[in-house]
Structure 1
């Protein structure tokens, strides 16, 4: 069974579905709103947001109920975790 995959080019990204059909996403310059959102995300990550979130989930100070997450999103998370090979993990 063929798998879906993503091809990345300098000027576009091409998502290839299991049936071989493609969806093309052209790359362009960021809007000022997108640049503002990206800067906000970078600032929060640099301030330890992700580390604090993970620590809070691990030590139980941040409650989390997996049953509240839709099954389709749970499957997406499982697929993402399974896609990280040891080689990719080292690169990350």
Structure 2
């Protein structure tokens, strides 16, 4: 009895596999058109490139503004006086 159930399972499994093979062989496989996906991907890539270029231009502009501000502050700084350097150091105590 155990032997007959094994053969029944084997036969049913074989029928299922052969049935699947028959179904896929007679059908025409329709491939999706990828042109729409490619166009969308290219459009998105162009948008991202444009955003990156804009961000780079903004970064360059900000850097130039900062450098110009530093340059003007550096040049507009008052010149140190001759006695000012000596005043800033530590003094020795006068001997008594």
Q: What's the TM-score, normalizing by structure 1? A: 0.20
Structure 1 or 2: more helix by fraction:
2
Structure 1 or 2: more strand by fraction:
1
Q: What's the TM-score, normalizing by structure 2? A: 0.20
Q: Which has the higher contact order (CA 8 A, sep 6+)?
A: 1
Higher-Rg structure is 2
